[in-house]
Structure 1
Amino acid sequence: MDEESSDGLLFKDHNFCSDLLRQLNGLRQSRILTDVCVCAGSWEVPCHRNVLASSSPYFRAMFCSNFRESGEAKVQLKGITSLALEQVVAYVYTGEAHIAAGNVLPLMEAASMLQYPRLFEACSSYLQDQLAPSNCLAMIRLSEVLSCESLKRKAREVALTCFPEVAASADLKELCVLELRDYLGDDGLCGEEEKVFEALMAWVRHDLQARKCYLKDLLQQVRLQYIHPAFFHHFMAGDTLLQSSPACQAFLEAARRQVFSVCGASAPDCRPLWHVPPRSSYQDFLILVGGRKDSQQTTRDVLLYSTQTGEWQSLAQLPARLYKASAVTLHRSIYVLGGMSVGTGRCPVSHSVYIFSMKLSEWRVGEPMLAARYSHRSTTHKNFIFAIGGLGAGQELLGSMERYDSVHNIWESMASMPVGVLHPAVAVKDQRLYLFGGEDIMQNPVRLIQVYHISRNTWFQMETRMVKNVCGPAVLLGEWIVVVGGYTRRILAYDPQSNKFVKCADMKDRRMHHGATVIGNKLYVTGGRRLTADCSIEDSASFDCYDPETDTWMPQGQLPHTLFDHACLTLQCVPSMSAHS
């Protein structure tokens, strides 16, 4: 656009430069006023020195300095193919280059040598568009040869994002130990730790004699606390190659004591390894399982909520319609325990266990509990699940507790709780399982904290006037156990060290039969039933978030429908195994 000023008009001809180049290219093709030939072997391309010098620092230095080439009629360019030279010169005169699979590498090399950075990046962009798990490791090597950071960055991103496919490729086995170590140790690697272990073992066995000395160093890149315990015990600890290495055996034994035993005995020599966070590809998702939805219909729905997208999606439905079952997450799977089977005529109390695999997106039947129970509570510690109390097949109040060992796939009876209660709030902290309140068989609130020492299999109880919760959950939020409502608005944070309660900001409503879980450092509360001002009961679809740093509540919108007596869980997994299932 032309610009007017106080002393006249500034005329801008935006086509002039391109027209000038077009005219110069015509002169070049007719060999008019050309004063130099750039050559690749016997191939000669006539050019104008001033055009080349204006287009590239490489040619400027060649023709505008005291180099021998500045006065020569022919200049030989080594390391460039004739086709690439022709295309570079055409690019100089037209600003255009046709990039394809057959010419991209020699063209990119020529652009790098002759210092045409925009052409170089255009070639890089073309290669980035061709990236796939089958070629990304080769592209990383190519990017290093060409010193192309943009290609290297994108190829590495593909390699990390598509790790399971890349791990199965022949290229991975050809990496040097430093490259593999850097790759397996990357926080952005998108895959389960079992795959990391399998990849490094395949790499070592590819050239066993030369590589077995690197085994322990590479093994430390596996984040063992995120390995499924059954995989650890049956595949890692039992691996003959690892057993042949005293250093690896010592490392795995320290891991077994620290990470996988019920007591978590200390291993000071390896302690820092157990505090590595999960890889950044893992995300926490909020899961709602079963419960009663609109019109008090017991539902088989399983819903997943992403805090990143704010969207809900449905997962595969429960295999059975279960009234007041309990559910937990363990090892990237959902376990649904017991409940009363609805729609089977007699409504029998169940001891069945159903397990949902996020990886396979399907349910399977697990090892059944020892006792049929519903209205019970369950929680996890390390690789164990605890099923506590509830009502039995004869509607009797159960004081019993049983524990599932996910490594050996067995249930075993543990010490019974001192006082049998229904609907207590349950949480685990520092080797202890805490039961807050609940109600007796006559539906009277029980003002007790019952504490189970996990490694000792013993209980003790403490009376307290602070708890009067029924049908409300508890969660571990930082160093505190938070008891969330239960026929009350009150939120109580309990410090096990000092045995003291602190009151937090109240919920908006008196809630019970709701769900609660923690994602990040925030508490999420879902659904339930609320007592209105006139003491009537309403089903709720509310979805709220509590921030302990500000001691405030923030609404998160609504659940897809009203829901209560459901399980509200946090499941940590790789998004591709959940959001795209």
Structure 2
Amino acid sequence: MDEESSAGLLFKDHSFSSDLLRQLNGLRQSRILTDVSICTGAGEVPCHRNVLASSSPYFRAMFCSHFRESQEAKVQLQGLDSVTLELIVTYVYTGEAHITAVNVLPLMEAAAMLHYPRLFEACSSYLQSQLAPSNCLSLVRLAEILSCDSLKRKAREVALANFPEVAASADLKELCALELRDYLGDDGLCGEEEKVFETLMAWVKHDPQTRRQYMQELLQQVRLQYIHPAFFHHFIAGDALLQSSPACQAILDVARKRVFSLHGSSTPDCNPLWPTPPRSSYQDFLLLLGGRKDNQQTTRDVLLYSAQTGQWQSLAKLPSRLYKASAVTLHRSIYVLGGMVISEGKSVVSRSVYIFSLKLNQWRLGEPMLVARYSHRSTAHKNFIFSIGGTGEGQELLGSMERYDSIGDIWETMARMPVAVLHPAVAVKDQRLYIFGGEDIMRNPVRLIQVYHISRNTWFKMETRMIKNVCAPAVVLGERIVIVGGYTRRILAYDPRSNKFVKCADMKDRRMHHGATAMGSKLYVTGGRRLTTDCNIEDSASFDCYDPDTDTWTSQGQLPHKLFDHACLSLQCIPHVIGLS
């Protein structure tokens, strides 16, 4: 655009420079005024020194200094083939280069050598567009040789984001120990820890004589506390190569105590494992299972909510229409226990266990409970699931408790609770299982905290006037257990260490039969039934979040439909692995 001022008109011809280049290229092609020939092998390209010197610091130094090439009619360039040289010269005179899969590597090397940074980055961009799990590791190597940070960064991102596929490639087995350690230890690696371990062992076994010396260093990059205990037991603990290393055995001994001991990480001589948090590629998801929806029909729906996207989606339905079953998460699977099966107008109390894999979006049958029960409570700790109380086949109130061992795949009867109750709030904290309140056989509130010592298989009880909850969930939030509503708006936070309650900000409504779970440092409450001001009961689709740092509630919108008596769980997984990214 021209610029007019009181001093006159500044005329700008934006096509002049490109026209000039075209004219110069025509002169070059006709060998008019050319004063130097660039040679490589048998190839020879006539050029103008001033054009080359203007295009690159490399040629400026060659032709504008006291080097002998400044006086020679022919200049030999090493490391280029004739086709690449022609592409470079065409770029110099036209600003254009046709980059293909065949020529990109020699062209990029030439651009680096001759100091054409924009052409170099264009080649990098092309290679980035061609990145795949099958070639990303080799392109990381190339980027390191050429000092191309943009390509190295992108290729590494692809390798980490597609780690299971990359782990199967031949290129991975050719990494040096330092390179493999950097990948396995990266917090952004998108792979389950079982795959990380398998990759490490496949790499070592590719050349065991040379590589076994690196096993300890590499094993420390595997976050063993997040490996499924059955996998640890069957595939890690007895591995012959690991057993041959005293240092690796010491690492596994610590992990074994952490994974299998009922005492957990508080066991004497059980040092904390490195690094404690799961990889950053894991995301939080909220799941709602079963319950009664809109028209109060028992539903088989399973809904998944992503905290990152704020979106809901439907998953594989429950295998049976279950009323007042219980559900827990264990080893990143979901277990649905017991309940009353509704089928063809008949109701049967069940002892069935269904296990859901989020990765496969599939249900399968598990080992059934010892006792059929519904309206019971369940919770998980370490490798165990505890199923507590409820109502039995004869509609009797159950005071029994049974425990499922996920390693041995067996159920066993544990000590009975001191007082049988219905609809209590249940949570596990610091090796103890807490049962808050509930109601007795006459539907009267029970003002008790019943505490089960997990490793000792013993109970004791404490009376308290603070407890009067029925049909309320309990959620572990930080160091406290939060009891959420239960025919009340009240939220109580219990500190097991001090045996004291703290009153938190009330919910908006008096709620019961709702769901609650923790994701990150916050509490999420879903659906339920609410008591209106005129004492009517309404079903709810509300979805609320409590932040303990600010002691405030915020609405997260609405559930896809009204829902109560449902299971509400949170689960961490890798979206890429389960096809949710």
Q: TM-score range by the shorter chain?
A: over 0.9
Task: Report if aligned partners of 2:190, 2:576 keep a CA contact under 8 Å in 1.
Answer: no
Q: Which residue of 1 aligns with 2:478?
A: 478
Q: Which residue of 2 aligns with 1:339?
A: 339
Structure 1 unaligned residues grouped into runs of 5+: none
Task: Report if aligned partners of 1:438, 1:446 keep a CA contact under 8 Å in 2.
Answer: yes
1:189 aligns with 2:189: yes
Task: Report if aligned partners of 2:493, 2:501 keep a CA contact under 8 Å in 1.
Answer: yes
Q: Map Cα deviations across residues 266-289 of structure 1 (whole Å, 9 max, x no partner).
A: 577773425521111111100001
**C-alpha distance in 1 between matches for 2:398 and 2:134:** 57
Task: Report if aligned partners of 1:257, 1:266 keep a CA contact under 8 Å in 2.
Answer: no
Write out aligned runs for 1:3-402 (5 A): 3-264=3-264, 266=266, 271-402=271-402
Q: Cα offset for 1:36?
A: 1.3
The one-letter code matched in structure 2 to 1:540 is: S
Structure 2 unaligned residues grouped into runs of 5+: none
Q: Map Cα deviations across residues 494-532 of structure 1 (whole Å, 9 max, x no partner).
A: 111111111111100000000011111111100000000
Write out aligned runs for 1:488-567 (5 A): 488-567=488-567
Q: Which 10-residue stretch deviates more, 159-168 or 558-567?
A: 159-168
The one-letter code matched in structure 2 to 1:459 is: W
Q: Map Cα deviations across residues 69-97 of structure 1 (whole Å, 9 max, x no partner).
A: 22222111111111111101100111110
Task: Report if aligned partners of 2:285, 2:304 keep a CA contact under 8 Å in 1.
Answer: yes
Other structure's SS at 1:557 match: strand
**C-alpha distance in 2 between matches for 1:382 and 1:35:** 80
Other structure's SS at 1:271 match: coil
**C-alpha distance in 2 between matches for 1:247 and 1:166:** 28
The one-letter code matched in structure 2 to 1:114 is: L
Q: Cα offset for 1:545?
A: 0.6
Task: Using the aligned pairs only, state the percent identity.
Answer: 81
Q: Map Cα deviations across residues 529-567 of structure 1 (whole Å, 9 max, x no partner).
A: 000000000000000111111111110000000000001
Task: Report if aligned partners of 2:326, 2:567 keep a CA contact under 8 Å in 1.
Answer: yes
Q: Cα offset for 1:219?
A: 1.2
**C-alpha distance in 1 between matches for 2:419 and 2:267:** 36
| Distance verdict in 2 for CA 1:313–1:579, change over 3 Å | farther
The one-letter code matched in structure 1 to 2:450 is: Q
Superposition RMSD in Å = 1.3
Q: Which 10-residue stretch deviates more, 256-265 or 192-201?
A: 256-265
Other structure's SS at 1:295 match: coil
**C-alpha distance in 1 between matches for 2:424 and 2:82:** 81
Q: Cα offset for 1:246?
A: 2.5
Q: Cα offset for 1:245?
A: 2.5
Task: Report if aligned partners of 1:143, 1:151 keep a CA contact under 8 Å in 2.
Answer: yes
Q: Structure 2 length as normaliser, TM-score?
A: 0.98
Q: Structure 1 length as normaliser, TM-score?
A: 0.98
**C-alpha distance in 1 between matches for 2:291 and 2:205:** 50
Q: Which residue of 2 aligns with 1:426?
A: 426
Q: Cα offset for 1:247?
A: 2.3
Q: Which residue of 2 aligns with 1:467?
A: 467
Other structure's SS at 2:336 match: strand
Other structure's SS at 2:563 match: coil
Q: Which residue of 1 aligns with 2:441?
A: 441
Task: Report if aligned partners of 1:358, 1:577 keep a CA contact under 8 Å in 2.
Answer: no
Other structure's SS at 2:346 match: coil
Q: Which 10-residue stretch deviates more, 533-542 or 165-174?
A: 165-174
1:417 aligns with 2:420: no
Q: Map Cα deviations across residues 271-319 of structure 1 (whole Å, 9 max, x no partner).
A: 3425521111111100001100011010000000001100000010000
Other structure's SS at 2:343 match: coil
Task: Report if aligned partners of 1:254, 1:267 keep a CA contact under 8 Å in 2.
Answer: no
Q: Map Cα deviations across residues 85-129 of structure 1 (whole Å, 9 max, x no partner).
A: 110110011111011111111101000000101111111111111
How many residues are matched? 581
Task: Report if aligned partners of 1:423, 1:438 keep a CA contact under 8 Å in 2.
Answer: yes
**C-alpha distance in 1 between matches for 2:270 and 2:49:** 66
**C-alpha distance in 1 between matches for 2:20 and 2:240:** 73
Q: Map Cα deviations across residues 469-496 of structure 1 (whole Å, 9 max, x no partner).
A: 1101011111111110010001111111
